Structure 1
Amino acid sequence: MSSTPAESPWPTTLSTARLLLRPAEATDVKEFTRLWTDPEVRRFLGGPVAEQELPLYQRHFAGRRNAFAVTTRAERTVVGSVLIDPAPRFDDRREVSYGLLPEHWGQGYAREAVAAVVEWAFAHVPSDDPSVIAVTQEANARSCRLLEAIGMRHIDSFVEFGAAQALFSVDRQGLRNGR
């Protein structure tokens, strides 16, 4: 028996063993700007955001519903972001997206943060579909492994933005919290 998620209690903060995920704030602009402009972070996302588009991004990220700044618990250092939004191109299914600054790669932070947000979304982000999805380029092996590690399954492939994309999905029972 499935239940309908309650309306998202926003703003909210999630915690894991090593991380705090809190609403993005205007004081995070430096780190978020790096997430949008770093060539390595944006390698599989179509490249860095164009300089003329940055002011729009910078004005609208803080306080955005279901947009989490991922911070370390101990130092409160912003290491990345995780967002959960309805995806109009996929019938408004809940889609998780994420990015971490390169100096924090390889420590399991992304897996920990994404799993926490997906788990939270099942209870608090309404959807007519019982799953949460994620899209990544098939060439992004690290991202594919992360999604598989939290229990997502590769359910479709398609070409978008000139590159092969992988669509992943997980339902509440399939989620491995990765914490």
Structure 2
Amino acid sequence: MRGYEITGMGLGLREVTLGDVDALLAIYGDPAATEHMPFEPRTRDEVEDIVAEALAAAAAEPRHLYVLAVVELETGQVVGVARIRIEADHPHSAEIGLGLRPDHWGRGMGADLIRLVLQYGFKHLGLHRIWGARAPANTAAQLAMLVAGMVEEGRIRHHVRARGVWRDSIVHSALEDEWEGHRSLGR
């Protein structure tokens, strides 16, 4: 991405910057926002480390990690975060992870964000397969992934240990040659 911005239906993606720590802390540090994530709410120091990792990854060649600020175009506020991690051994496949501030839930932004991330992965990164995993109880993520054109592939049993217990993950994916999202974004 390196300075490149991509916009969709009311949302934009850009590289994270040092100035985004507070905005990302509002997601990574929020118990509601991280309820279905495979980690406890993050501290400010941990979020600063995430941003530092993102900045280092942006300079790497080849690049395998993109940490992107999700910007609400109308207000210019950072309201979310999107991660794309390209698999080192399979450079045409990537895992995505997403988070939105809880005060922006229920507005249809999740599906729009997933479409935007898929568009970026397929059109700009040349990916063939993009996948993401969600907690079984996260039905909002399930709906957003399905609406955005991802297919539910199956369950990974006891995939992550979160909050002291083992939790399954439900995997969703999109394939470049099957995905119709580029048409819905008008690109």
TM-score of Structure 1 vs Structure 2, range by shorter chain: 0.7 to 0.9
Partner of 1:171: 175
Q: What runs of 5+ residues in structure 1 fail to find an aligned partner? A: 1-8
Q: C-alpha distance in 1, partners of 2:23/2:141?
A: 20
- Within-5 A mapping of 1:43-54: 43-45=35-37, 46-49=39-42, 53-54=46-47
1:148 Cα deviation (Å)? Answer: 0.7
Q: Provide the C-alpha distance between the structure 2 equivalents of 1:75 and 1:95, rounded to a whole number of angstroms.
A: 29
User: Relative to 1, partners in 2 of residues 1:61 and 1:34: Cα closer, same or farther, differing over 3 Å?
Assistant: farther
Q: Which residue pairs with 2:53 in the alignment?
A: 60
Q: Conserved in 2, the CA contact under 8 Å of 1:119 and 1:175?
A: no
Answer whether contact 2:80 2:101 (CA < 8 A) is retained: yes
More moved, 97-106 vs 65-74: 65-74
TM-score where L is the length of structure 2:
0.79
Pair 1:41–1:125, CA change in 2 (3 A): same
- Percent sequence identity over matched residues? 18
Query: SS state of the match for residue 130, structure 2?
Result: strand
| Structure 2: tracts of 5 or more residues without a match | 59-65, 161-165
What's the offset of the Cα at 1:157? 0.7
Q: Tell me if the contact between 1:33 and 1:58 (Cα under 8 Å) persists in the aligned partners.
A: no
CA shift in 2, pair 1:87/1:48, >3 Å: farther
Listed as ranges, the matches of 1:7-46 within 5 Å are: 9-45=1-37, 46=39
Residues 53 and 27 (structure 1), Cα distance of their counterparts in 2 relative to 1, 3 Å cut: closer
Partner of 2:99: 99
Higher strand share: 2
The question of whether the paired residues in 1 share the 8 Å contact of 2:24 and 2:47 is answered with no
- Is contact 2:110-2:141 (8 Å) kept? no
TM-fit CA distance, 1:24: 1.0
Tell me, in whole angstroms, the C-alpha distance in 2 between the residues paired with 1:98 and 1:116: 11
* TM-score normalised to structure 1 length: 0.82
Q: Provide closer, same or farther for how the CA distance between residues 63 and 51 of structure 1 changes in structure 2, counting only shifts above 3 A.
A: closer
Structure of greater relative contact order (alpha carbons < 8 Å, 6+ residues apart): 1
Alignment correspondent of 2:83: 83
Q: For each residue in 1:90-149, what CA deviation from the matched residue of structure 2 results, as whole angstroms up to 9, or x when unmatched?
A: 95621111100000111122211221121121122255xx21101111111111111111
Q: For residue 181 of structure 2, give the secondary structure of its aligned residue in structure 1.
A: coil
**Cα–Cα, structure 1 residues 118 and 154, in superposed 2: closer, same or farther, change >3 Å?**
same
